[in-house]
Amino acid sequence: MPTLHFQVAGGGELALDIQRLIIAGWTGRDLEAVQHHIEELQAIGVKPPASVPTFYPLAASLLTTADVIEVPRDDSSGEIEVVLLQAGDGLYVGVGSDHTDRKVEAYDVTVSKQMCDKPVGKQVWRFEEVADHWDSLEMRCWRVRDGERALYQEGKVTRLLDPRELIQRLTGESSLPAGTAMFCGTQAVIGELGHGEAFEVELHDPVRNRTLRHAYRVESLAVAE
Q: What is the CATH number of the domain that holds 15?
A: 3.90.850.10
Which position has the higher pLDDT, 86 or 42? 86
pLDDT in tens, 166-222: 999 999 999 999 999 999 999 988 988 889 999 999 999 999 999 999 999 999 987
Q: What is the pLDDT of residue 113?
A: 87
Q: Which of 214, 209, 194, 206 is nearest to 73 (CA)?
A: 194
pTM, full prediction: 0.94
Confidence band of 225 (pLDDT split at 50, 70, 90): low
Range of the domain at 27: 3-221
Confidence band of 11 (pLDDT split at 50, 70, 90): confident
**Radius of gyration (Cα) for the chain, nearest Å?**
17
CA 75 – CA 103 distance, rounded (Å): 6
Confidence band of 34 (pLDDT split at 50, 70, 90): confident
In this prediction, residues 149-176 reach a mean pLDDT of 96
Q: Which of 183, 136, 141 is nearest to 157 (CA)?
A: 136
Which position has the higher pLDDT, 44 or 68? 68
Count of domains for the chain: 1
CA 105 – CA 192 distance, rounded (Å): 16
Q: Quick one: how far is CA 201 from the chain centroid?
A: 10
CA 110 – CA 43 distance, rounded (Å): 19
Q: What is the pLDDT of residue 40?
A: 63
Q: What is the pLDDT of residue 48?
A: 79
Mean pLDDT over the full length of the chain: 92
